[in-house]
């Protein structure tokens, strides 16, 4: 009875493998170059295989007892797989598949710090290797010294613009004292200037000279005539003569 069950299970396994080969193609060696694959399904399968290998080796490299050489080899191979995964993702996009690179964050540790520089990353126990720890400490010091424009914008808030300076009332009192002194100083200056130059009404004769009453007063002359001005009687006589001339020209002809 058990033998029949084993035969049935083996037949089911062969059938499932046949359907899987029809869907994804037969198993084989992964191409060395992603551009050699022109089938979208196969490219998706090779990418999933690389992701599984990366996950397996990242879990393995967490063990610090593996030894320095083994840890360095694992870290190098993980970086190689990451580069290979990017090539397959680019080929999948060219074949009309989804864009896996969109919205993918940078590789960082649990504290949000970068895990490498220049396209090379350190995972697990590789971060504690000789020379690697000093590299990360140096990067942290450089990041503290050099702030980006975005970091500076994060420091700008309502307190930066002084919106909360008047909440305690202390600054308002100081500004009131300074404002009172500045206003008094401006009023005294304006009064001193007006005492030196008084505004007065100027009366002039037809020849442009000042009258006797005006000459006796002091102050600045606000208006000065450069040509003789006619008097009121002269203006009336000129208007009357012009009207007579118009009437004569109208009725005499």
- pLDDT at residue 99 greater than cutoff 70: yes
- What pLDDT is recorded for position 129? 84
- pLDDT tens for each residue of 201-211: 444 444 445 44
3-state per-residue secondary structure call for the chain: CHHHHHHHHHHHHHHHHHHHHHHHCCCCCCCCCHHHCCCHHHHHHHHHHHHHHHHHHHHHCCCHHHCHHHHHHHHHHHHHHHHHHHHHHHHHHHCCCCCCCCCCCCCECCCCCECEECCEECCHHHHHCCCHHHHHHHHHHHHHHCCCHHHHHHCCCCCCCCCCCCCCCHHHHHHHHHHHHHHHHHHHHHHHHHHHCCCCCCCECCCCCECHHHHHCCCCCCCCCCCCCCCHHHHHHHHHHHHHHHHHHHHCC
Interval 231-238 mean pLDDT: 90
- What pLDDT is recorded for position 250? 85
- What pLDDT is recorded for position 204? 47
- pLDDT tens for each residue of 119-135: 788 888 888 888 777 77
- What pLDDT is recorded for position 202? 47
Q: Which of 10-19, 46-55, 152-161 ranks highest by mean pLDDT?
A: 46-55
Assign 183 a pLDDT band (cuts: 50, 70, 90). very high
- pLDDT tens for each residue of 20-60: 777 665 566 788 888 888 888 888 988 999 999 999 999 99
By mean pLDDT, which of 77-91, 181-195, 200-214, 221-235 is the weakest? Answer: 200-214
């Amino acid at each position: 009875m058990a033998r029949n069950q084993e035969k049935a299970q083996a037949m089911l396994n062969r059938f499932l493998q046949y359907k899987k080969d029809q869907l994804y193609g037969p198993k084989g060696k992964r191409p060395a170059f992603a551009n050699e694959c022109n089938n979208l399904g196969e490219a998706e399968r090779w990418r999933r295989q690389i992701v599984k290998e990366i996950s397996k080796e990242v879990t393995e490299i967490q063990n610090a007892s593996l030894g320095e050489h083994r840890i360095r080899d694992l870290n190098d191979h993980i970086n190689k797989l990451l580069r290979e995964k990017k090539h397959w993702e680019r080929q999948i996009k060219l074949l009309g598949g989804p864009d896996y690179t969109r919205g993918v964050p940078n590789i960082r540790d649990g504290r949000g710090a970068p895990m490498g520089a220049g396209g090379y990353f350190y995972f697990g126990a590789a971060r504690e290797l000789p020379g690697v720890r000093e590299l990360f400490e140096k990067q942290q010091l450089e990041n503290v010294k050099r702030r980006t424009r975005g970091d500076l914008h994060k420091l700008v808030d309502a307190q930066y613009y002084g919106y909360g300076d008047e909440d305690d009332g202390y600054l308002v009192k100081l500004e009131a004292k300074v404002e009172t002194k500045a206003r008094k100083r401006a009023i005294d200056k304006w009064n001193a200037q007006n005492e030196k130059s008084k505004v007065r009404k100027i009366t002039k004769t037809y020849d442009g000279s000042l009258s006797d009453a005006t000459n006796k007063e002091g102050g600045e002359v606000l208006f000065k005539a450069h040509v003789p001005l006619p008097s009121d009687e002269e203006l009336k006589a000129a208007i009357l003569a012009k009207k007579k001339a118009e009437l004569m020209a109208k009725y005499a002809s």
